[in-house]
Amino acid sequence: MIPAGFLPPALGPQRTFALVAGVESYDISHRWNLRGPARDALRFAHWLTGPGQVPPGNLRLLLSPLDDPGALDWPDSPAMAALRAAYRPATEENVKAALLDELPQCDGDLLWIFWAGHGYLGPRQELMLPCSDARPSQIRHLNLDSALRWWRTDLVKHRSFPLQAALVDSCRVDAPRDARWNFGSTDYGGGNSVPGRRQFRLYASREGEAAQNDAERGAGRFTEALLAELGTRSVREGVSGLPAAARSIHRTFQDLRERGGGWQLPQFLVDRDWDACSFLDDDPTAPAPPRAARLDQQAWDGLGALFEGRELPRCAHEAYAWAFKAAGCTTPVGGGLPGDGLLEVVQDLDERQGGPGGMPLAVPFVRFLADRVAAAGDTAWADRLKDWVHSTRERLVLPVLPPPPPPARTTVVHVGLEPPPDGGPGFRARMWLSGERTEQIWESQGAPVRLDAVREELLRQLVLVGAAPADGDRAGPRLRGGVDRIEFHVPYELLDTAFDQWPVPRGPAGRPRALGLLHQVVVRCPQERADTRAEWRASWRWLCTRGGRHPDAVRVVKESEVTDALGMELAERPAPACVLAHTAAVPHAGLLEAVLEGGVPVAVWRRGGGEPAPPLLDLLAPTGPDGRPDPGALDVLALPARVREVRRAAAGAAASAERAAQHPSREDQLVLLWDDPDDIPGFRSLA
């Protein structure tokens, strides 16, 4: 409870004021809309004017609901009827007018700020709460940290509002570092700090975490728990009991997580008690939440020897994400690893510590590495990693770890084509089947063969692979389920060839289907990477350590950018790892040369040239909060599957257009260059 001396003697409903905001609808994009915050704001206002007995004229109610305001579930009371007639939309102008102009001129003892809606952390970790008139060109918002600093100064009436409580039901995730997310710079300034003003903050999530909203019930989980704690208390009882209520809410969510009630459940960060002391973890009357062990010096010495001279393996991002899951705590919002070296990653994990089971996050990370390294064939290093995990667990008395998930198995047919040494017609051809292991399944003999013969042999091999039982005579990668992807390793001149359009007979009538509709089909050109092998591998490694997603991973190249210097520009940094060609000319006229010279492993273009319509980002990337395709959300590592989805959608649209006597779309004429430097069977020449 709040010490008696902290409560102003006259504190009561008449001297209590509040800003209550619920934002569901945003101008920036309909994809930002969410259902629940407006109802949460109404329920909090109902507590203030009901059990709290605060006059409705002391509240500034700001609502931007998804539906007609009259359709909201307005509580039936005279006070709420008055607020229904006086509420305003939750625009930036109205927020600033209420919080920085009107309320500071009032004479009160207690200010409540309740906000429900989206929330983002800026570069200085300030909480930015977007307003309903947030637009792509300017995400108008309330900078809550700056506003609370302003409220501690003498710009607010002297001796007024010694107690200020901010209750925020929003996420606290980092705002993407993207030029389209233009929050601008918002600082409300302020005067001189006034001694004696105390602020209490209770957020629905910790920094970097998302708060959960129940859209079906139209309620935020944080608000549900908060109102349950406030119950029928008066304003004086509610404000004095806020610290105890916060501890109870925290324990409720902690128990829910420990029972496996949700992976992304919010965790609570209560900033300070009324006496400016942190109370959530240090309250002597409540048990402190369990904390995981940290690595000891012996563990660090062992890791130093294990990681010396080792680059980040391609599974490092998966290991990092799995460590949080194995330890029973929430994965950080945002992709990518916290460093470029294994020791940097482990240091980040150790600083974060682990979940309630006492497991340091670094231990499952190393365990995951050991399993994947063993699967890749480096058994010596894998054994050393496993020994470190075993000895560290025994020394620190750690719980048993669940086994890491097995790597996703992809069955791939590699088709290698090379021109004959004498430069004559046809190609020397070879095929490999790659799954749990790699084996050669066919090679052309004698004279070079034409592409028609290669196609016929590929169809025969696909039938054999699909028909081979898992326990058949030919053990190895020929597993039930057939082939996932077909990769054509071809000379530079064949990159634009329509391999994905090769007809494949299907069904009893032998109806032809395009190869690219049945399988993921990509082209490769590893033999042209000799001069930029280092840049090529660095770019691929950079992409893998960020889980395939990053704002810098994808670059759209337009016609005016295709110059003689483009290749050198692309080679300067590991990013971008993927180029999308928005060029009118055939890609051979400079773009692909630049991609290969720059060491870029992935590229997408429309076969035969011609600027794609709609743009490739519209076809491939998910839509961001501003309603436009978000390159930072495009999973480059999943592009083979995504391109096949586009081809299938275009094939369906083309069939509909043909029935309607319209011109079919060319969206299925996409070519995907997909050069994984770690998966090149038979890289030596066929000659």
The pLDDT value given to residue 383: 95
How many Cβ atoms are within 10 Å of 452's Cβ, its own excluded? 9
CB 343 within 8 A of CB 317: no
The whole-model pTM stands at 0.61
The pLDDT value given to residue 3: 46
Q: Which amino acid is at 188?
A: Y
* Pairing mode, strands 412-418 and 428-434: antiparallel
The pLDDT value given to residue 416: 95
Residue matched to tokens 């704690």: 229
Show the tokens assigned to 263.
């992976």
Give the three-class secondary structure for 212.
coil
What distances in angstroms separate CA 603 from CA 68, 181, 525, 649, one per listed residue? 46, 26, 12, 20
End-to-end Cα spacing for the chain: 83
**pLDDT tens digits, one per residue of 239-269:** 888 888 888 887 777 766 665 444 334 434 4
- Altogether, the residues listed in the chain come to a count of 687
- The closest alpha carbon to 256, from 284, 225, 229, belongs to 225
CB 416 within 8 A of CB 430: yes
Show the tokens assigned to 339.
């460093």
The pLDDT value given to residue 654: 67
Instruction: Please enumerate, as own/partner, the contacts of 152-155 that have beta carbons within 8 Å and a separation of 24 or more.
Output: 152/190, 152/193, 152/194, 152/197, 152/199, 153/190, 153/191, 153/192, 153/193, 153/194, 154/191, 154/192, 154/193, 154/194, 155/104, 155/190, 155/191
Please state, in angstroms and rounded to a whole number, the distance separating the CA atoms of residues 367 and 359: 12
Show the tokens assigned to 162.
């010694």
* DSSP notation for 82-142: HHHHH-B---HHHHHIIIIIIGGGS--SEEEEEEES--EE-TT--EEEE-TT-BTTB--EE
- Angle value at C-alpha 322, between 316 and 327, nearest 5 degrees: 130
The pLDDT value given to residue 258: 60
Please state, in angstroms and rounded to a whole number, the distance separating the CA atoms of residues 14 and 412: 73
**pLDDT tens digits, one per residue of 118-166:** 999 887 888 999 999 998 788 999 999 999 999 998 888 877 898 999 9
What distances in angstroms separate CA 561 from CA 238, 566, 583, 584, 632, one per listed residue? 62, 7, 9, 12, 21
Three state DSSP letters for 498-552: CHHHCEEEECCCCEEEEHHHHCEEEEECHHHHHHHHHHHHHHHHHHHHCCCCCCC
Give the three-class secondary structure for 167.
strand
Show the tokens assigned to 686.
């066929």
Low-confidence ranges of the chain (pLDDT < 50): 1-4, 215-216, 260-272, 276-289, 468-480, 660-664, 683-687
